Chain A
């Protein structure tokens, strides 16, 4: 069943006097007990999308739905919503107050929400996050912990409210390599034991392969390909996904796209990826007779479906089912 949903979501910012369409039409769902990875490069809008799903940004148009009901933006409704949908921030070191003990850090949420049995809540959240015995960590300050332990404290802070969904922004990017696997295993265990759903925002395709059921690839404000992880990451259809996978260190034939991701204040016409598209540049789109479409015909917003789909004229010409 669908728990969290974005429906035709648009989020805009003013950027140096221009309008930046950071999220430019996104349909996305996270089902109960599902882990969805939202992947893309810096500036593609993935963090803005995540913040909007958390109610931290107001969409210019479109709707965020939780449990089928549209999100209300009154202070009271948002407060209630945040018990259900919790953020796990990037960089645990920056998000923990250095002068608060572990206990105070984890108890903050339950206090704000006026929940009873604070001590038991904190103890149970810490032990579910793998910090055992929890009492040993109560009086400890963040600087006395390792990076992995700090990330566990941050996760415990989210768990203390018994949420249904975690939205994790690059949960392992700032961690040491050997600790990374342990934190990802923790997310899988929380799903297995508590039925937690998660939206994991990352630029790390290996992370998606390690823990996600579904992946959505975002480029310049839109989801350009989505589907089950095995299908999307083993046989990508969109040239952008192909390029992202091809530059992983183990890949035999890297397709290194030139330039940086383009600017959300100047989204190209036609397919938004066409100026950097290697399939178009290599003339393959012309062979398939779609190069005109690539340059002039924008693609529609991909619907929030669990099946494999890609917003690409060339991929559709070759695989009409997409």
Chain B
């Protein structure tokens, strides 16, 4: 899939050809920073992008291409088959309507429940996310940040979707509230067999919540694989930098030694040539300035070069870096 925004200043490639899949009951973590294209990707999945965006490729939801659905079908799919938990619950809720009405809305719109039944369902949903049923009568401003995020999750669950896309669901929350929300998300995935795509710039949060991780940089997936493996043994230098950005408290090597990357995330309108990470890369080779490497198995297992492309979208650990290629590294020119 690829997404390009057309703007007065020219085309902005936000997502540059990526393939991902999520199974039932599986949690996929999408890591990246501003400009990496991760939020664009999330919005694209349900066609929530502005008109200026041009999307190519396929987005298959239970085998059906979201990009080719007619408007009516798309409306039916949103909320009922897949729903989104947006970042910043403060702004995503309507401030002048009670939260119970807002949770009930997709149920009523989709004709899933009559008003009386919807009220019962709302009470049940609130309970599932750990809020008392009387909270249905509250307005968003009467709730704390963590409670509002729970309301957002209840809304996302209302129509029993098969897939939930959560964009930075805990970013604005305190550690304790974050832990509560993550525990809730994990248990919902496990109990209901929902597929989850969770987006964050905090690799440690994703590693603790998800089965698999995909690290995005400048619109591409640069590393993917089993969550623990990617988090503790990242092979792409950017994956490694993200994993080290949040220190493990108690780890002597990070004491008084914050680790970061020089430079800034690239501007999608002026992407560097070759590997787009090379200007910030601590281990770049001269050839990285012109050579872009595809995802390649990085788990050390033997590779049949003929099938690396098909395997890369499966569950093994892959990285798009010249240092994981099996060939001998070029002579340091």
How many residues belonging to B are interface residues under a CB distance threshold of 8 Å? 44
Given the interface pairs A178-B33, A209-B254, the reply to whether A247 lies near B175 with Cβ below 8 Å is yes
Nearest to A250 among chain B residues (CB) is B248
Among A148, A188, A209, A243, contact of B247 (Cβ-Cβ < 8 Å):
A209
Cα A148 to Cα B264 in complex, Å, equals: 7
Tell me which residues across on chain A come within 8 A of B259, comparing CB atoms.
Answer: 181
Given the interface pairs A146-B265, A209-B250, A260-B144, the reply to whether A178 lies near B177 with Cβ below 8 Å is no
A179 touches B254 (CB 8 A): no
Name the interface residues of B162-193: CB closer than 8 Å to any CB of A: 174-180, 183
Most A Cβ at <10 Å: residue of B175, B203, B259: B175
A209 touches B255 (CB 8 A): yes
B242 touches A178 (CB 8 A): yes
B177 touches A234 (CB 8 A): no
Among A181, A211, A243, contact of B176 (Cβ-Cβ < 8 Å):
A243
Name the interface residues of B259-290: CB closer than 8 Å to any CB of A: 259-262, 264-265, 280
A181 touches B174 (CB 8 A): no
The answer, yes or no, to whether A288 is at the interface (CB within 8 Å) is no
A176 touches B256 (CB 8 A): no
Tell me which residues across on chain B come within 8 A of A256, comparing CB atoms.
Answer: 176, 179-180, 183
Cα A256 to Cα B244 in complex, Å, equals: 25
A188 touches B255 (CB 8 A): no
The answer, yes or no, to whether A20 is at the interface (CB within 8 Å) is no
The answer, yes or no, to whether A185 is at the interface (CB within 8 Å) is yes
Nearest to A187 among chain B residues (CB) is B258
B180 touches A250 (CB 8 A): no
Tell me which residues across on chain A come within 8 A of B204, comparing CB atoms.
Answer: 248-250
Name the interface residues of B99-140: CB closer than 8 Å to any CB of A: none
Closest chain A CB from B139 CB (angstroms): 15
Cα A89 to Cα B179 in complex, Å, equals: 26
B33 touches A176 (CB 8 A): yes
Q: Which interface class (under 10, 10 to 19, 20 to 34, 35 or more) fits A?
A: 35 or more
Tell me which residues across on chain A come within 8 A of B242, comparing CB atoms.
Answer: 177-178
The answer, yes or no, to whether B211 is at the interface (CB within 8 Å) is no
Given the interface pairs A176-B265, A179-B261, the reply to whether A244 lies near B176 with Cβ below 8 Å is yes
The answer, yes or no, to whether A180 is at the interface (CB within 8 Å) is yes
Among A147, A209, A247, contact of B34 (Cβ-Cβ < 8 Å):
A147
A182 touches B260 (CB 8 A): yes
Tell me which residues across on chain A come within 8 A of B280, comparing CB atoms.
Answer: 178
The answer, yes or no, to whether B5 is at the interface (CB within 8 Å) is no
Given the interface pairs A42-B145, A206-B247, the reply to whether A254 lies near B255 with Cβ below 8 Å is no
Closest chain A CB from B167 CB (angstroms): 15
The answer, yes or no, to whether B249 is at the interface (CB within 8 Å) is yes
Among B175, B246, B254, B257, contact of A177 (Cβ-Cβ < 8 Å):
B246
The answer, yes or no, to whether A233 is at the interface (CB within 8 Å) is yes
Among B179, B208, B241, contact of A178 (Cβ-Cβ < 8 Å):
B241
Q: B residues bordering A, Cβ < 8 Å?
A: 33-34, 144-147, 174-180, 183, 201-205, 207-208, 238, 241-242, 244-251, 254-262, 264-265, 280
Return the 10 tightest CB-CB contacts between A and B, nearest first.
Answer: A181-B260, A247-B179, A184-B258, A146-B264, A182-B260, A176-B33, A249-B208, A249-B204, A177-B245, A178-B261
